[in-house]
Amino acid sequence: MKTSPYPHLQQRDAKPVTVSDLARMKAEGEKIACLTAYDASFAALEDRAGVDVVLVGDSLGMVVQGNSTTVPVTVDDMVYHSRITAAGLSRAFLMTDLPFLSYGTKHDALETSRRLMGEGMAQMVKFEGGEIQADTIEHLSMRGVPVCAHIGLQPQLVHKMGGFKVQGRGDAAETMIRDAKLLEESGADVILLECVPSALGAEITANANVPVIGIGAGPDTDGQILVIYDILGLSPGRKPRFVKNYMDNADTLDAAVTEYVAEVKDGRYPGAEHAFS
């Protein structure tokens, strides 16, 4: 029998991925491959390529709707795109973003999560913020809502932060380390780190008992996530440093996504050229 160049497709369990599976993967040192998707067709492509976690990100505001930030995205937008993405999945775990100002209070966060999980078929919600979100995470977790805490660069705060910039340098590193631990203790099931120095990504990951997914956070996180349109070379404008175009050496979309998963799994992605110091 011909050997596949993508052993993760032969070895992976066909059963749906769960929160427990993500925790097991961290414990066993298996890298977690994640990508965004916004519809059933891309979801199905990613599912058959072996992606472990599919994120319906509010990044759709930029790559689908054509806005300059994620801020205009609404709860209705997220419910719609989450639902149609769920329709394309059979194995991958589905995570969906809470959009800007839809989780300003614990009540708002719970209601938005109810809609995204009930109407949008999400299995986990993700939202931005450090220490300020600890009480909200505890509130949701105690009511059975799986949560991914998003720290580092927070795109919804782009106007407050003054642009898309690397976070966690200098004294800010200690604050982010404390935030990560606090959010985990509050009930976060996963932590997403965006645009931080590799050394900080490694330290937070080593000290966390839950999976840490990185985007521009270096090679030592428990998993990696990118925007699907970015890895296929479809996003216009300047590409972030951490992006790799997998269509450069692929003949099909399936081959490109499958190669991305393989490179995450065996540690080839991200390379030093995709990381921050």
Residues annotated as catalytic (active site), given as ranges: 194
Residue 156 DSSP one-character state? G
Which residues pair with residue 125 across a beta bridge? Answer: 96, 147
Q: What tokens appear for 88 in the block?
A: 């394309």
d(CA 13, CA 15): 5
d(CA 96, CA 90): 16
Extract long-range pairs of 26-31: CB within 8 Å, 24+ residues apart: 26/210, 26/211, 26/212, 26/222, 30/265, 31/222, 31/223, 31/224, 31/264, 31/265, 31/266, 31/267
Residue 270: is the preceding peptide bond cis (ω within 30°)? yes
Place of tokens 């994120």: 55
Extract long-range pairs of 154-158: CB within 8 Å, 24+ residues apart: 154/128, 154/129, 154/194, 155/58, 155/59, 155/69, 155/70, 155/128, 155/194, 156/58, 156/69, 156/70, 156/71, 156/99, 156/100, 156/128, 157/128, 158/69, 158/70, 158/71
How many C-beta atoms surround the C-beta of residue 231 within 10 A?
Answer: 23
What are the backbone dihedrals phi and psi of residue 125, each rounded to the nearest 5 degrees, phi first? -110, 150
Cβ(155)–Cβ(163) under 8 Å? no
